[in-house]
């Protein structure tokens, strides 16, 4: 969904997946090694968690919402979101060690984007609605991209509201109309 204001120029877009809930979740692991990897298209749904093990960074499901961007854009958006959250906590009265910790983290983020060393992006989507573009025509030929389907845990199903979902009356109604 996208909206824009003709008066002020404000633009907003929101990504909402459609269709049935898949039986399995999807974990996408990308080993980022070069500039082309930073330009890969990314669809991160609002049900996806993001991890960058080299930074010890983990964003839980729902953080940043659903976005369409690139690998580089995702890291920039993460940095911007963290700056918004921590900006007020890093004023003049902040302890020096907190400022240093934040500055160190920002430097480590910058190193990721400058590709001073390879790093790993993991998108774990319990609803399998996220995507990272392969560098080749066939996903199987992209040695830096690993896509794994997995059984969701009870906790993931609970967080998504799937453990208590009862569709039996809808199933009966659907079967009645489809056989007539």
| pLDDT given at position 178 | 56
Given the candidates 1.10.150.20, 2.60.120.1040, 1.10.10.10, 3.30.1380.20, the CATH classification of the domain at 20-152 is 2.60.120.1040
Domain-wise residue ranges, the chain: 20-152
pLDDT at 163: 83
Which residues in the chain show pLDDT less than 50? Answer: none
Give the pLDDT score at 63. Answer: 86
Global confidence as pTM:
0.80
SS3 for the chain is: CEEECCCCCCEEECCCCCCCCCCCEEEEEEEECCHHHHCCEEEECCCEEEEEHHHCEEECCCCCCCEEEEHHHHHHHHHHHHHHHHHHHHCCCCCHHHHHHHHHHHHHHHHHHCCCCCEEEEEEECCCCCEECCCCCCHHHCCCEEEEEECCCHHHHHHCCCCCCCCHHHHHHHHHHHHC
* Each residue's pLDDT tens digit, 155-167: 998 988 888 877 7
């Amino acid at each position: 969904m996208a909206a824009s204001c003709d008066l002020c120029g404000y633009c907003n877009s929101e990504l909402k997946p459609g269709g049935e809930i898949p039986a399995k979740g999807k974990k996408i692991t990308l080993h980022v090694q070069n500039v082309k990897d930073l330009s890969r298209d990314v669809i991160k749904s609002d049900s996806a968690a993001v991890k960058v093990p080299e930074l010890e960074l983990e964003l839980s499901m729902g953080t940043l919402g659903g976005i369409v961007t690139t690998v580089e854009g995702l890291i920039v958006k993460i940095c911007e979101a963290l700056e918004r959250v921590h900006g007020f906590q890093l004023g003049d009265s902040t302890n020096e060690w907190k400022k240093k910790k934040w500055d160190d983290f920002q430097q480590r983020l910058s190193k990721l984007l400058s590709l001073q060393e390879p790093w790993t992006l993991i998108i774990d989507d319990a609803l399998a609605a996220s995507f990272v573009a392969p560098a080749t025509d066939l996903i199987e030929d992209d040695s830096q991209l690993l896509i794994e389907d997995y059984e969701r845990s009870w906790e993931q199903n609970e967080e998504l509201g799937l453990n208590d979902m009862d569709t039996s009356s809808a199933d009966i109604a659907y079967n009645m109309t489809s056989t007539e």
